[in-house]
């Protein structure tokens, strides 16, 4: 907004102009100072958000092939393989699209059917102890398995899925190098064409007729399929942004007054982010997320009941055979601290995982059910902090002016990627 819009001539006109300038700037409508001087504390916070402060890739003790280049190579092929769906039309990349920062641009995911929630990005998920909006999976490989048998997503079943490995020379040979030879699956009485404990009535019945040993064998191969996908997903890192360049310059003590690096509104928005807007309470670190669960008073889409979020899946996480403590994990119990000591309590009612704020420009619509189409709607929601329909909204009204919200949005848009994704 231009504060100085000449509407009149002469002394009275100038007086009116000055009056409007004072009023508008008092309301916060004027641009921030381009020569912001960052305090030592602010410089430390800015540096902590840069990709230059990214910690090393954490190990995944539950996945023995997590660091294997061969597993990652096969995992990328699996990620793009439409044969992993019952109709041969859906791949992981159908919803996790690289040109959309591994999201799909839809309110809720659509594959064979319609999913319940918005498609989250897979970028940087190796640093998250929980996957999905409600955290119902505790590793990348466990998460990778769930859509394959979900009737709304890939719609596959365990026997059909592992046959994709068996019938493809690259998969079969690579699998043998990583895990040992696949069993012969040609005996349909022992290994029916379609069977799964998670499938339709016929598939469940076929699964029940299999021996316990063969069920375990098939489930282990299925788990290993997820581990190969996860080995590739671990390599998907967030690309650098204009913010990272600016943050590094601030930390180095470079001359950062140039508007070419950051505009005055972007600097003002960054200062709000660090302080008054209280964004750092949840969106901190180089990925701009604490990977925790919070109830922020989001309304469900029209006609839907409130989503109970994290509180609804706690038992599901504990009993999942593909969790860190399960029979298909490569970890020992002492390495599964997140699962063993996961947080419980009433505060998790209606709580969802804090998403990363990187690449916001390509990941709309926002929130766990895509309830908000624009970033300005998101900021308005947090500024108001309405009461939650279920549980308790942890957020409090921020009292930001319209111009402060615009400045905050200007800063958040500097988190859009400028580099190429793998």
Please check whether the two domains, 40-54+239-308+349-415 and 69-233, share a CATH topology: yes
> Cβ-count burial of 422 within 10 angstroms (0-12 exposed, 13-18 middle, 19+ buried)?
exposed
40, two tokens: 């030592």
Q: How far is CA 401 from the centre of its chain?
A: 29
**For range 157-162, the mean pLDDT:** 97
Where exactly are the structural domains of the chain? 1-30, 40-54+239-308+349-415, 69-233
**For range 325-332, the mean pLDDT:** 98
Cα angle vertex 169, ends 165, 174, to 5°? 70
Contact 158, 219 (CB under 8 A): yes
Q: Is the pLDDT of residue 197 over 80?
A: yes
Global pTM value: 0.90
CA-to-CA separations, 154 to 75, 203, 288, in angstroms, rounded: 16, 15, 31
pLDDT tens-digit series, residues 198-234: 989 999 999 999 999 999 999 999 999 999 999 999 9
Q: How far is CA 408 from the centre of its chain?
A: 21
Contact 34, 43 (CB under 8 A): no
pLDDT tens-digit series, residues 349-400: 999 999 999 999 889 999 999 999 999 999 999 999 999 999 999 999 999 9
Confidence of residue 36 (pLDDT cuts 50, 70, 90): confident
Continuous H helices in 168-241: 169-179, 201-209, 212-233
Residue 387: phi and psi, rounded to 5, are -65, 145
Residue 353: phi and psi, rounded to 5, are -70, 140
The share of the chain scoring above pLDDT 90, in percent, equals 87
Residue 303: phi and psi, rounded to 5, are 85, -5
Q: Is the pLDDT of residue 189 over 80?
A: yes
Provide the b/e sequence for 54-82 (b: ≥16 CB within 10 Å). Answer: eeeeeebbbbbbbebeebbebbbbbbebe
Contact 133, 368 (CB under 8 A): yes
- CATH number, domain 40-54+239-308+349-415, options 1.10.760.10, 3.40.1440.60, 1.10.540.10, 2.60.260.20: 1.10.760.10
pLDDT tens-digit series, residues 48-100: 999 999 999 999 999 999 999 999 999 999 999 999 999 999 999 999 999 99
Contact 222, 185 (CB under 8 A): no
- CATH number, domain 69-233, options 1.10.3720.10, 1.10.760.10, 2.30.110.10, 1.10.1040.10: 1.10.760.10
């Amino acid at each position: 907004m231009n504060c100085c819009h000449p509407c009149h001539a002469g002394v009275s006109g100038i007086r009116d102009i000055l009056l409007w300038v004072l009023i508008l700037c008092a309301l916060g409508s004027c641009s921030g100072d381009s020569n912001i001087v960052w305090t030592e504390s602010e410089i430390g916070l800015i540096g902590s958000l840069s990709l230059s402060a990214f910690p090393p890739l954490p190990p995944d003790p539950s996945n023995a092939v997590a660091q294997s280049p061969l597993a990652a190579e096969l995992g990328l092929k699996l990620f793009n393989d439409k044969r992993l769906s019952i109709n041969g039309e859906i791949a992981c990349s159908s919803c996790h699209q690289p040109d959309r920062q591994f999201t799909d641009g839809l309110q809720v995911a659509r594959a064979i059917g319609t999913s319940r929630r918005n498609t989250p990005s897979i970028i940087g998920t190796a640093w998250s102890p929980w996957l999905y909006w409600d955290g119902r999976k505790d590793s990348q490989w466990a998460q990778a398995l769930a859509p394959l048998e979900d009737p709304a997503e890939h719609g596959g079943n365990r026997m059909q899925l592992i046959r994709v490995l068996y019938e493809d020379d690259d998969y079969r040979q690579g699998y043998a190098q990583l895990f040992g030879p696949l069993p012969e699956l040609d005996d349909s009485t022992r290994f029916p064409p379609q069977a799964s404990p998670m499938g339709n009535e016929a598939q469940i019945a076929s699964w029940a007729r299999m021996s316990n040993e063969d069920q375990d064998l098939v489930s282990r191969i299925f788990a290993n399929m997820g581990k190969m996908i996860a080995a590739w997903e671990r390599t998907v890192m967030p690309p650098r942004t204009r913010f990272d360049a600016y943050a590094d310059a601030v930390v180095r003590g470079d001359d950062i007054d140039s508007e070419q690096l950051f505009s005055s509104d972007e600097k003002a928005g960054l200062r709000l982010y660090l302080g008054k807007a209280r964004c750092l309470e949840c969106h901190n670190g180089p990925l701009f997320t604490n990977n925790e669960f919070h109830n922020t008073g989001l309304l469900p889409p029209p006609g839907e009941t409130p989503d109970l979020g994290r509180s609804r899946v706690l038992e599901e996480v504990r009993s999942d055979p593909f969790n860190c403590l399960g029979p298909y994990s490569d970890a020992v119990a002492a390495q599964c601290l997140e699962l063993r000591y996961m947080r419980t309590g009433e505060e998790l009612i209606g709580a969802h995982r804090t998403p990363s704020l990187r690449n916001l420009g390509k990941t709309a619509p926002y929130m766990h059910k895509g309830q908000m189409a624009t970033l300005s709607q998101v900021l308005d929601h947090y500024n108001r902090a309405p009461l939650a329909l279920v549980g308790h909204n942890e957020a409090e009204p921020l009292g930001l002016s319209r111009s402060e919200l615009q400045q905050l949005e200007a800063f958040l848009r500097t988190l859009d990627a400028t580099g190429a994704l793998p």
